[in-house]
Structures are given as structure tokens and as C-alpha cells.
Amino acid sequence: MKSVNINEQIYNYIVDRFAPDETLLTDLIAETEKLEIPLIHISRDQAKFIYLTAKMMNASNALEIGTLTGFSGIHIARGLNDGGKLVTVELEKKHADIAAKYFEKAGLRDKVEIMNMPALDAMKKLVSENKKFDLIFIDADKTSYPGYYENAIKLSHKGTVIILDNMLKSGRVIEDAGDDADLKAIQFTNDLISKDERTESILMTIGDGFTLSVVK
């Protein structure tokens, strides 16, 4: 086994050099916490990774499932090329309103569209409109992950990158799921993706685990 176990000191070493904090994002997190919204956004290294992924792909169109208050969406939108567009889907209006506020503060108002509705309904609507995306990021309720993944495939073209978060489930992915519906869904989705001949994929040990797939 070659991977290095990441402790707090190593994590801080990485983000201090390659993903430094900024006032806008600090304010976003502080307001999220003040409003008693769970701080379940992706980590700073994950955010930089997804930003760079969009950049390296020269992505124009991105879809995010699970906006929360906009932390990950800001990074995705910043990584899109000039004229690019992020469609981000959020069920909770309170969360969507805060996200809209910070997209505006980040100068991304014209680059982001928020769909405030159930994610599967939004994805099915986009499928019916024959939409295709270069990058799709999924970070929402875990029990719906299999459905999100299947709809993501329908919204993809050859070369689309699909990224799902929390795929290590705090290291519990190898445990017996028992009655844990979220863990069962994560395990099922990882098994589904690992055997899917429509994509090439890898589970990455960054943050709580990104499963990254490229559509063939």
C-alpha cells in the first residue's frame, strides 16, 4: 500500500499551500453555521480538485446535484471557461437563497442557474430537454445516488466527467452496512460504477472519497 495516511498536519500543509482560504468563502461558511445549516460542504482540497478538473477539461457546461450554500458551486463555476454555465440543484430554499447571495458576491450571477426543486425531478426535466453536460458533480442525499448516477449518464456525452462525493463514508464503506441506508446506497453505487462498462472509474481517497468516472 503506497497511499499516505492524511492527518490534520498534512492536510493543513496541503491546503495552506495549494488551496488557501479566502474571505468570501470564510464568510459563506460562517453564515452557513450561523443559520444552523449543517457544514457538510466538500473540503478545501476537494474544492480545488474539482475547480482544476473543470479547468483541465475546458468545461463549458456543468451540473451540480446538491448546492447547499454554494461552496462547491463557486469552485465549479470559477473553473468553467468564458461563457460557461453551471446548473446547480438544491431542494431547500433557505440553502438556495444563501447560495444565490454568494454566487452574486463571487461575480458569478450570470454563470450559475439554481434549480430549487427535488434533484431527481430536475435531472429528469433536463433529460427531457436533451441537455448534456461536460462535468457533473453529485453531493446530495445518499439513498438517491444510484438514481442520480443513472440520470447523470443520460445527461452525459463521450468524455463527460461524473464525480460523486462521500464514497468512502468516513472509512465505513468496507463495513457491514446493517440498517444504515446511506451506507448501503454508497456501497451499492460503488459496486454499480465499478462494473459499469459505459464508464472508466476510480475511487479516490481525497476528502471523504470522490468516485470519478469518465463516460466512454
DSSP codes of every residue in 84-143: -EEEEE-S-HHHHHHHHHHHHHTT-GGGEEEE-S-HHHHHHHHHHTT--EEEEEE-S-GG
Q: What predicted TM-score, i.e. pTM, was given to this entire model?
A: 0.96
pLDDT at res. 5? 83
All structural domains of the chain: 8-215 (3.40.50.150)
pLDDT at res. 2? 78
pLDDT at res. 141? 96
pLDDT at res. 191? 98
pLDDT at res. 172? 96
pLDDT at res. 6? 86
Name the one residue in this structure whose C-alpha cell is 495516511. Answer: 5
CB atoms within 10 A of CB 26: 10
Order of strands, sheet of 210-215, starting from the edge strand that comes earlier in the sequence: 112-115, 85-89, 61-65, 133-138, 156-164, 210-215, 199-204
User: Which residues of the chain are under the pLDDT cut of 70?
Assistant: none
Helix axes 23-34, 71-79, angle to 10 degrees: 150
pLDDT at res. 40? 92
pLDDT at res. 14? 95
